[in-house]
């Protein structure tokens, strides 16, 4: 269970814009979010969200986080996210997605969305994701100086040396596992689709069959900390960021 005090410590100075057309869900979720964030603005559709976002940006202000549903009247979450990125490419966006909306996810991934929350909302999961995002926002780029990505308190992957360490012990990785881990760790938390993975392998002059990616993930997962490599069904794969 998420430690509410810890979450509040990271979010108490942050602001959030929430777009959701379902009235009861929007109101209930807003009340929960207000317990943690400095300010929460909630609206019922993407068009209204974009108007508020533009007005704030024109005053040289922005939100720390935008939380949006995908399916909404007047302007859906995909179009809203695209227009927000046109205004502010650095904006952090978290997307709510029903199980049957997988056709929307790939374009969002291509825009750079890193986090999705399934509906109906598991509020513990939502708070966990918010904690990770808030920590990331409050810290400098993860190990930017030495290009090391920490997977938990024991495991580190060094993208320069291409070595996976558990404490001081080196864990053997195959060539394909190294390439795959290099890609996922380049932006911890970002979801990479099968298409992204095939393209990356091609860029480093290697070939991988999309049908074999699941096998590659299965073998690599046995060498990594529990839950550090996540599979999102029908969408792709990501490394879960770890913060001390």
Q: Say if residues 238 and 189 touch (Cβ distance below 8 Å).
A: yes
CATH superfamily, with its number, for domain 4-138? Response regulator (3.40.50.2300)
Report d(CA 4, CA 210) in Å as an integer.
Answer: 41
Alpha-carbon gap, residue 20 to 8, rounded angstroms: 23
What is the domain partition of the chain in residue ranges?
4-138, 148-239
Q: Name the β-bridge partners of 19.
A: 43, 68
Structure token digits, residue 112? 């750079």
Q: At what angle do helices 77-87 and 102-111 cross, to 10 degrees?
A: 0
pLDDT, one tens digit for every residue, the chain (244 residues): 777 888 898 899 899 999 999 999 999 999 999 999 999 999 999 999 999 999 999 888 889 999 999 989 899 998 999 999 999 888 889 999 875 555 667 667 667 676 788 888 999 889 988 988 887 765 443 344 347 888 988 999 988 889 999 988 999 999 999 999 999 988 888 889 999 999 999 999 999 999 999 999 999 999 999 889 999 888 899 988 776 5
Does domain 148-239 correspond to CATH entry 3.10.20.30? no
Task: Identify the three-state secondary structure at position 40.
Answer: strand
């Amino acid at each position: 269970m998420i430690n509410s005090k810890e979450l509040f410590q990271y979010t108490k100075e942050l602001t959030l814009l929430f777009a959701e057309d379902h009235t009861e869900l929007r109101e209930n979720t807003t009340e929960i979010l207000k317990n943690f964030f400095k300010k929460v603005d909630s609206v019922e559709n993407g068009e209204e969200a974009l108007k508020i976002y533009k007005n704030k940006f024109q005053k040289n202000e922005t939100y720390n986080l935008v939380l949006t549903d995908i399916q909404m009247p007047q302007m859906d979450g995909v179009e809203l996210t695209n227009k927000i990125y046109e205004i502010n490419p650095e904006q952090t966006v978290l997307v709510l997605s029903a199980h049957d909306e997988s056709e929307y996810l790939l374009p969002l991934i291509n825009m750079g969305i890193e986090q999705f929350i399934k509906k109906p909302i598991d509020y513990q999961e939502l708070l966990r994701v918010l904690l990770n995002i808030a920590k990331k926002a409050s810290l400098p780029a993860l190990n930017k100086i030495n290009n090391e990505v920490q997977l938990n308190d024991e495991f580190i992957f060094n993208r320069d040396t291409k070595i996976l360490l558990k404490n001081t012990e080196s864990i053997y990785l195959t060539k394909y596992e190294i390439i795959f881990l290099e890609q996922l760790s380049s932006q911890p938390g970002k979801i990479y689709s099968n298409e992204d993975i095939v393209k990356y392998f091609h860029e480093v002059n290697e070939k991988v069959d999309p049908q074999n990616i699941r096998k590659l993930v299965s073998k690599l997962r046995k060498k990594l900390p529990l839950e550090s490599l996540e599979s999102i069904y029908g969408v792709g794969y990501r490394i879960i960021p770890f913060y001390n």
